[in-house]
Structure 1
Amino acid sequence: MKNLFLSAAIVLGGLTSFASTSPISNTIVKEVSFQDDYTEVALTEVPAAVTDALKKAYPDAVLNKAYKNSASQYKLEVTVGDKVGSLYANADGTWVKK
């Protein structure tokens, strides 16, 4: 009988210590932000090669705003139909993937 009580106490004691431990969860949030160093330029300052490439690739596109960075790359905010988006191009009119 004494062994039965001792066994029950050990089992119950083991269960309570197991139940009291909280699960360890590691949540790693990695945030990456790209800082554009583009400055707005007038639409007349956009090179003809870039505007020609835009007309060739997207004939119905409307150029809303243009930005230029220190590497002479252009960020073009365009509207095609009801969609608005950004395109990136070098000064010679070649497209840049970003």
Structure 2
Amino acid sequence: MKNLFLSAALVLGLAASAQTATTTQTTTTTPAPASVQVAPVSNQDKEYAKVTQSEIAPEVLKQAVAKYKGYQLVEALKAEDGSDYKLVLTKDGKDIAAFYKANGEFIKEVAA
């Protein structure tokens, strides 16, 4: 009878410890290399101010008119540092923003 009680106590003890056992999950992350270099993105973090069509550099107007025939100028903006222009154009209900450097060089086009 002693063996029966001892066996029952042992089984209950093992069952109780099995239920209270916790599992820990560890995750490892790989640190980023210390010498990561990020190339500057054109037109990121630039402040633009509205300008009239007559204030747009002639080189920019010439290139924009040639590239975007049939489009209408909605808004013209110039970077505060004077380095580039943002022209918001529309055609058939579709608006785009065209970016040009002050010397007339096309930078990019994005949906407006």
* TM-score normalized by the length of structure 1: 0.71
Residue of structure 2 equivalent to 1:72: 83
Equivalences, count: 83
| Structure 1 moving runs of 4+ over 4 Å | none
Partner residue, 2:15: 8
RMSD: 2.2
Q: Which one of 75, 87, 94 corresponds to residue 83 of structure 1?
A: 94
Matches of 2:73 and 2:95 in 1, distance apart? 10
Amino acid across the alignment from 1:35: D
- Provide the C-alpha distance between the structure 1 equivalents of 2:13 and 2:93, rounded to a whole number of angstroms: 77
Q: Normalised by the size of structure 2, how large is the TM-score?
A: 0.63
Q: Which residue of 61, 71, 81 corresponds with 2:71?
A: 61
**How far is 1:83 from its partner?**
0.7
Unaligned runs of 5+ in 1: 25-33
Greater length-normalized contact order (CA 8 Å, ≥ 6 residues apart): 1
- Bigger radius of gyration, 1 or 2? 2
Aligned equivalent of 1:93: 104
What displacement does 1:93 show?
A: 1.4
Q: Secondary structure at the match of 2:107?
A: coil
Residue in 2 that maps onto 1:48 = 58
The answer to whether the 8 Å contact 1:74/1:91 transfers is: yes
